């Protein structure tokens, strides 16, 4: 049976795992080609979730890149996930990842709140019905 992970879980993990790599970049400590593009290891991520590496790559490249990559005002493409930046491969746009993750977390909180309110409403209605007899 294959395992399914949500975009939220995947992006939370990437955010946590590569935060130090993003913040440790400086003009004196150029550990990669560009500050905002952080190379990620799809194999490492796949092992964490116990799924095939190509599923992680495909999710990032074919789904999330299409969903969150965008055209800037000057008509240049700003990728969410790109195959190569300079000498680095499989790079994620970390500031964009942070924004996307914030939106997903916010949407998840709203969903959980609406679900909790619905459950409480159902229980109140059920209790009212029981006491009406």
Other beta carbons within 10 angstroms of residue 10's beta carbon come to: 21
| Predicted local confidence at residue 2, as pLDDT | 57
Class of domain 7-105: mainly alpha
Domain ranges for the chain, please list them. 7-105
In the 8-state DSSP scheme, what is residue 74? Answer: T
Question: For residue 1, is pLDDT > 50?
Answer: no
Instruction: Give the Cα separation of 133 and 111 in Å (integer).
Output: 34
Confidence category of residue 133, pLDDT binned at 50, 70, 90 = confident
Q: Name the token pair of 69.
A: 């990559």
Q: Residue 78 in 3-state DSSP? A: strand
Determine the average pLDDT of the residues in 69-73.
96
Instruction: Name the β-bridge partners of 70.
Output: 78
* Token pair belonging to 129: 């019905």
Average pLDDT value over all residues in the chain: 94
The more confident residue out of 3 and 121 is: 121
Measured at the CA of 49, the angle between CA 45 and CA 55, to 5 degrees, comes to 70
Which is it for strands 37-39 and 70-71: parallel, antiparallel or unpaired?
A: unpaired
């Amino acid at each position: 049976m294959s395992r399914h992970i949500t975009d939220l879980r995947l992006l939370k993990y990437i955010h946590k795992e590569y935060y130090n790599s993003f913040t440790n970049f400086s003009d004196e400590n150029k550990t990669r080609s560009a500050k905002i593009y952080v190379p990620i290891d799809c194999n490492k991520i796949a092992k964490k979730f116990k799924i095939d590496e190509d599923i992680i790559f495909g999710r990032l490249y074919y789904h999330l890149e299409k969903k969150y990559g965008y055209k800037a005002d000057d008509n240049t493409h700003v990728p969410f996930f790109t195959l190569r930046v300079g000498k680095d491969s499989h790079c994620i746009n970390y500031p964009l990842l942070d924004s996307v993750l914030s939106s997903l977390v916010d949407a998840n909180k709203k969903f959980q709140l609406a679900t909790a309110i619905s459950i409480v409403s159902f229980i109140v209605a059920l209790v009212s019905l029981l006491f009406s007899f």
